[in-house]
Amino acid sequence: MNQNEYVVYWTMTDGKPASAKHTDLNAALRHAELHRRQGMGFVTMCSESVDQVGKGGVDTIVDGKTPDGEDYTWSKAHRAGATHGVPHSIIDNKSNE
C-alpha cells in the first residue's frame, strides 16, 4: 500500500454486511453519511495511514515530557464532558434515567 486507504462498513437493511474502499477521506465520509441517511445500520469507517508508524498516542512520559521533549499536559480530568464539581449523587441519578 502506498497511499492512505479508508474503508466504510455498513449493514444493509436486509441485515447483510457491506463495505467500500476509498483513497480520499472526504469521499469516504460522504459515503458513510449517505448510508446513514438511507437507513443503513452500523455504519462505521476505518483507515490505514501509510504515515503512521507504531501505536497511536504517547507511549512514554518522563518528568512530564514526551519522548520528543514536548510538555505532556493531557489528563482525563480535562477531557470533554468532565464532571468537575458535580456531586456524584447527581451523576449517579443521571445514569439511572
Average pLDDT over residues 19-44: 93
Share of the chain above pLDDT 70, in %: 66
Q: Where are the domains of the chain?
A: 1-50
Query: What are the tens digits of pLDDT across the range 52-91?
Result: 666 666 677 888 888 888 888 877 766 665 555 555 555 5
The span from the CA of 50 to the CA of 13, in Å, is 33
Distance of CA 53 to the CA centre of its chain: 18
C-alpha cell at 76: 482525563
**What is this structure's pTM?**
0.52
Angle, vertex CA 72, rays to CA 69 and CA 73, nearest 5: 150
